[in-house]
């Protein structure tokens, strides 16, 4: 007679299968995301081991500059949406952006992420000049996170010296995407991601966890999108409700689910760069550190000057206050408390793979 497996045996087998690098079916990913809560620590521990084996123990930093909070889109979840008339809008001057990039350089962080709403005030030439100045005056590695653009724009950004691009697919459900991003099209988003990959950008995608209408099946599909497009970076963050948006008052405090998605992403994609996001630090004071112990290996401190930072109001309660040096020194202490240190090199996934290949 075949002995039936206990729940604990079946969960441990599944986590072990993922930890050993075996491909998981959609059904198995759904099961992984749904394991009883008492098994969450086993899942996080497996992801932590794979993170250590694939990416090492050091944490990579990317410094963010949020240079404009103008946006022409109307995403239901985001405080920067066009119809939020309460928001005081700003655009940093080119010199302010360069000065902030220099501060990032001086603090030892090797890469900058330039992020904004979808703001057509910035013609491709303007962005290219900015990229060229940052390259020339700071030599920082540049990631752009400025939304959907044309193939020619992406080509121009690359020729000007941008190396990486972050464009989250936000949700793998076409219906949910259409509802949450009025006037936008999921296929267009995916096309942009394909162009970026084909051009050779280190490409980041990702999702929000805890969106209204989201199911475990949709989260499993998010993970499959990340794996199938061979993304280099994965921005997985909790949805946090903003009071001045149509999704006001929709609570999301499920830190455990957020950590499970990060852990599953590490087990499924192996050697990707996964940030412990600012949104996680906002959801829970120790959220970022817990993510770093459940598969994440990157932190993206926000270096936007204080006068603008509070106005980049995607969702309420964002952290990371103080000067660049103060922020870094606080992070160093936090990382030390979990036995980890900062790696001040660029942490390039493609270069790492080339090294491995040779």
Interface residues with ligand SF4 (CB under 6 A)?
Answer: 71, 73, 75, 78, 80-81, 117-118, 147
Nearest by Cα to 253 from 228, 224, 273, 282 = 282
Stretch that binds ligand SAM, among 57-65, 98-106, 165-173, 219-227 (CB under 6 A): 165-173
Nearer to ligand SF4, 189 or 349 (CB): 189
Stretch that binds ligand SAM, among 16-24, 37-45, 112-120, 320-328 (CB under 6 A): 112-120
Nearer to ligand SAM, 153 or 340 (CB): 153
Question: Is there a contact between 64 and 299 (Cβ–Cβ < 8 Å)?
Answer: no
Residue 29 contact, options ligand SAM, ligand SF4, none, Cβ 5-8 Å cut-off depending on partner type: none
Binding mask 244-283 for ligand SAM (x = CB under 6 A): -----------------------------------x----
Stretch that binds ligand SAM, among 11-19, 40-48, 164-172, 287-295 (CB under 6 A): 164-172
Residue 262: both structure tokens together: 């990060």
Residue 81 Cβ vs ligand SF4, minimum distance, rounded to whole Å = 4
Residue 81 contact, options ligand SAM, ligand SF4, none, Cβ 5-8 Å cut-off depending on partner type: ligand SF4
Nearest by Cα to 27 from 163, 212, 190, 217 = 217
**Residue carrying the six token digits 């995301």:** 33
Can you tell me which of 74, 100, 107, 115 binds ligand SAM, judged by CB under 6 A? 115
Can you tell me which of 165, 177, 239, 335 binds ligand SAM, judged by CB under 6 A? 239
First to last CA, the chain: 51
Rounded to whole angstroms, the Cα distance separating 61 from 345 reads: 9
DSSP 2: P
Question: Is there a contact between 326 and 318 (Cβ–Cβ < 8 Å)?
Answer: no
Q: Please tell me whether residue 219 binds ligand SAM under the rule CB under 6 A.
A: no
Residue 84 Cβ vs ligand SF4, minimum distance, rounded to whole Å = 9
Q: Please tell me whether residue 195 binds ligand SAM under the rule CB under 6 A.
A: no
Q: Please tell me whether residue 118 binds ligand SAM under the rule CB under 6 A.
A: yes
For residues 122-151, which are near ligand SAM according to CB under 6 A?
A: 145, 147
- Cα separation values, 196 from 50, 131, 190, 191, 231, Å: 27, 17, 10, 9, 10
Q: Please tell me whether residue 189 binds ligand SAM under the rule CB under 6 A.
A: no
Stretch that binds ligand SAM, among 37-45, 53-61, 74-82, 350-358 (CB under 6 A): 74-82
| SS3 state of residue 203 | strand
Residue 38: both structure tokens together: 């008492």
Could you give the angle at which helices 255-269 and 216-228 cross, rounded to 10 degrees?
30
Nearer to ligand SAM, 78 or 219 (CB): 78
Nearer to ligand SAM, 19 or 173 (CB): 173
Q: Please tell me whether residue 315 binds ligand SAM under the rule CB under 6 A.
A: yes
* DSSP per-residue codes, 89-112: P-B--HHHHHHHHHHHHHTT--EE
| SS3 state of residue 117 | coil
Sheet-wide strand order for 63-68? 63-68, 111-116, 141-145, 164-166, 202-209, 233-238
Q: Phi and psi (nearest 5°) for 305?
A: -55, 145
Sites of contact with ligand SAM (CB under 6 A)? 77-78, 80, 115, 117-118, 145, 147, 167-168, 170, 208, 237, 239-240, 242, 279, 314-315
């Amino acid at each position: 007679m075949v002995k039936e497996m206990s729940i604990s045996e079946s969960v441990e087998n599944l986590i072990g299968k993922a930890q050993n690098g075996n491909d998981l079916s959609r059904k198995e990913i759904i099961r992984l995301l749904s394991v009883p809560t008492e098994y969450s620590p086993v899942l996080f521990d497996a992801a932590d081991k794979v993170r250590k084996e694939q990416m090492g123990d050091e944490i990579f930093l990317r410094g963010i500059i949020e240079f404009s909070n103008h946006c022409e889109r109307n995403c239901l979840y985001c405080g920067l949406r066009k119809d939020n008339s309460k928001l005081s809008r700003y655009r940093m001057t080119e010199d302010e952006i360069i000065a902030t990039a220099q501060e990032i350089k001086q603090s030892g962080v090797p890469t900058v992420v330039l992020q904004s709403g979808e703001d057509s005030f910035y013609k491709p030439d303007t962005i290219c000049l900015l990229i060229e100045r940052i390259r020339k005056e700071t030599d920082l590695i540049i990631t752009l996170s400025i939304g959907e653009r044309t193939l020619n724009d992406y080509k121009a950004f690359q020729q000007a010296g941008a190396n990486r691009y972050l464009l989250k697919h936000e949700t793998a459900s076409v219906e949910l995407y259409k509802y949450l991003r009025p006037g936008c099209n999921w296929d267009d988003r995916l096309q942009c991601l394909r162009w970026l990959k084909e051009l050779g950008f280190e490409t980041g995608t990702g999702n929000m966890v805890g969106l209204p209408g989201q199911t475990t099946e949709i989260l499993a599909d998010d993970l499959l999108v990340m794996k199938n497009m061979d993304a280099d970076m994965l921005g997985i963050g909790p949805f946090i409700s903003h009071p001045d948006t149509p999704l006001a008052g929709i609570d999301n405090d499920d830190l455990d689910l957020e950590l499970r998605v990060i852990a599953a992403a590490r087990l499924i994609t192996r050697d990707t760069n996964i940030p412990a996001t600012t949104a996680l630090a906002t959801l829970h004071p120790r959220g970022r550190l817990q993510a770093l112990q459940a598969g994440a290996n990157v932190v993206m401190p926000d270096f936007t000057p204080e006068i603008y930072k509070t106005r980049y109001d995607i969702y309420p309660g964002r952290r990371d206050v103080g000067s660049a040096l103060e922020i870094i020194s606080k992070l160093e202490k936090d990382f030390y408390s979990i036995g980890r240190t900062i790696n001040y090199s660029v942490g390039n996934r493609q270069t790492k793979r080339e090294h491995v290949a040779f």
